[in-house]
């Protein structure tokens, strides 16, 4: 891509309200991992550099280092992460700093207590704070400005399990016949003691693609066709009023704290929905 083509691309992006930035500034990326546990040696040489937009960089010197260890876990820094470190004259309480202790490097939180003593504090109770009492040679190399998280790798077995569930559910949906639907209405009808409880049947049938979501007309037509003499037949508006909060979602996402009904009434809806599913897939 030529410079003119790149400028044209940037103009187009700016016209769309975006803020493109050019990665035009080299930042050192140190090859050695900086521990988040006990201090250890960190090589002074780096073998790579990263290109970053100068707009994102400070006027102070900056460099990148990778992380190993779990002592800063509760601060959201884990093994494999890359941290951007910026040079500072003096840290403030709560700053995560890269410190060199007797020639060994570590990441910790800087803290001054009420007696004026300074500490390097881990963010994991399994590790102990380090008191900077002058007995050891300490140099603070910089403050962590940014954390670049390492993308997690999901085990293939979890993906395979999710795929199998999806395929099984699809197979079940494709096998739900009109005869089965009629059977479900007949079996579930005696459990319905109030017209609005039919919403639980509708929602589970929508989850299994027997009816479309919010297609209350079709559901009511099926209901009146299969159990025309039922004493508790809801109006469309009654069902619509229940399609709010977590009840507007698939049944597996319903929650008692975010439902339009509470207590025993909520349990009744869940029981009827679960019974409907049992009948659909049996």
243-260 pLDDT, tens per residue? 999 999 999 999 999 999
**62 falls within a domain:** yes
Regarding whether 262 and 218 lie in a shared domain, the answer is yes
Q: Which domain holds residue 183?
A: 173-281
**216 falls within a domain:** yes
**Average of pLDDT values for 265-278?**
95
Q: Which of 49, 54, 58, 71 is catalytic?
A: 71
Regarding whether 224 and 133 lie in a shared domain, the answer is no
**273 falls within a domain:** yes
Distance CA 92, CA 247 (A): 48
Whether the predicted pLDDT of 30 surpasses 60: no
Whether the predicted pLDDT of 167 surpasses 80: no
Tens of pLDDT, residues 43-95: 444 444 445 555 444 445 577 888 888 888 898 888 888 888 887 778 889 99
**Domain CATH number, residue 88:** 2.10.109.10
Helix (H) or strand (E) holding 145: strand 138-148
109 Cβ neighbours under 8 A, 6+ residues apart? 72, 75, 94, 95, 96, 97, 120, 121, 122, 123
Please count the structural domains in the chain: 2
Distance CA 237, CA 251 (A): 20
String of b and e for 199-224 (b: at least 16 CB within 10 Å)? bbbbbbbbbbebbeeeebeebbebbe
> Of all residues in the chain, what percent carry a pLDDT higher than 70?
77
Whether the predicted pLDDT of 101 surpasses 70: yes
Regarding whether 185 and 69 lie in a shared domain, the answer is no
Q: Is 108 a catalytic residue?
A: yes
**Among 144, 215, 208, CA closest to 171:** 208
Distance CA 80, CA 149 (A): 8
């Amino acid at each position: 891509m030529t410079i003119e083509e790149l400028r044209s691309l940037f103009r187009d992006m700016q016209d769309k309200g975006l803020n493109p930035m050019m990665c035009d500034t080299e930042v050192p990326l140190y090859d050695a991992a900086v521990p988040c546990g006990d201090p250890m040696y960190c090589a002074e040489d780096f073998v790579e550099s990263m290109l970053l937009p100068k707009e994102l960089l400070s006027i102070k010197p900056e460099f990148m280092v990778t992380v190993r260890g779990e002592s800063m876990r509760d601060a959201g820094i884990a093994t494999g992460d890359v941290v951007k470190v910026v040079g500072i004259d003096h840290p403030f309480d709560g700053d995560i700093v890269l410190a060199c202790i007797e020639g060994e490097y570590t990441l910790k939180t800087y803290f001054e207590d009420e007696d004026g003593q300074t500490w390097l504090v881990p963010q994991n109770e399994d590790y102990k704070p380090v008191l900077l009492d002058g007995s050891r040679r300490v140099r603070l190399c910089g403050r962590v400005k940014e954390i670049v998280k390492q993308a997690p790798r999901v085990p293939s077995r979890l993906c395979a399990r999710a795929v199998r569930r999806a395929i099984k559910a699809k197979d079940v949906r494709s096998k739900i016949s009109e005869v089965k639907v009629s059977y479900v209405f007949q079996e579930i009808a005696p459990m319905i003691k109030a017209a609005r409880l039919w919403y639980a049947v509708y929602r589970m049938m929508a989850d299994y693609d027997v009816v479309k979501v919010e297609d209350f007309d079709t559901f009511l037509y099926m209901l009146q066709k299969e159990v025309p003499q039922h004493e508790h037949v809801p109006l469309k508006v009654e069902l619509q009023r229940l399609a709010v909060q977590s009840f507007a979602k698939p049944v597996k996402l319903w929650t008692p704290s975010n439902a339009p009904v509470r207590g025993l009434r909520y349990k009744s809806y869940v029981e009827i929905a679960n019974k409907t599913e049992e009948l659909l897939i049996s």
